[in-house]
Amino acid sequence: MPKARRPRLDREGKSPLRGRIRRDPERVEPTDRDRALTLTPVSRETLERLDRFVALLLAWQRTTNLIAPSTVSHLWVRHVADSLQLLDLAPAARVWVDLGAGGGFPGLVIACALAGRPGAHVHLIESNTKKAAFLREAQRLTETPASVHGARIEDFVASFEGPADVVAARAVAPLKSLLDQCFPLLGKSGATGLFPNGQNAELELRQARESRAAKAWTINATLVPSRTDPAGRIIVIRDVERSRTT
């Protein structure tokens, strides 16, 4: 009877197969949720809404690319906490506008946190049909004070007549292009602009200030360190006004 062949071992005496086993990219790391809640604590009611939202997002993510697949394993820190940290930069804000809401960051997460606050409402702007459909289902499931506008950013900005306390956008476009689109809304409503950015925030802000469109505006902007990314910055824009011409 022939002897059974022994599996080949690597230099450390382990089967090479073990070295090929990787974490499932569609699963969230077990400690990710706890770490996010340590960075950005929320109430029990808000957490229940966020859990429903994340479960729905993971279900849709299998067929619709709502977030980068590489970020699924740490979506609570990378996306949820990254969105929640904006609340402390505008604690009195009631009406938020999220330009390019995508998978619900930051707008739907903000709406989960603001649920129950009198006068709170979040406008989610998303031109992609599938993503807009997801946002509507997420809003229904979480019962949050939000509405979905299936429109392009520039079209919404041109037609929006309501009040706004904060205009936010996350990973939508380079800051220069984004500000060209939303400056009219910032100036018209007197809202604060909150734009999470990466390590190139200072460069993008300088380029935006030097753009042709920005010369028609007076910009008061600051950079705030991100809690979720040591290299990240949040661009905070206040007091946007048209420059006087002679």
Per residue in 136-181, pLDDT tens? 999 999 999 999 999 999 999 999 988 999 999 987 777 777 877 8
Q: What is the pTM of this model?
A: 0.84
Residues 6+ apart with CB under 8 A from 217: 183, 187, 240, 241, 242, 243
Q: Tell me which DSSP letter residue 145 carries.
A: S
Amino acid 38: pLDDT:
97
Mean pLDDT of 6-31: 53
Q: Beta-strand (E) ranges in the chain?
A: 95-99, 121-125, 146-149, 166-168, 192-197, 217-225, 233-242
Section 112-119 average pLDDT:
96
pLDDT tens digit sequence for 32-61:
999 999 999 999 999 999 999 999 999 999
Count of CB atoms within 10 A of residue 241's CB? 13
Phi/psi of residue 97, nearest 5 degrees: -120, 120
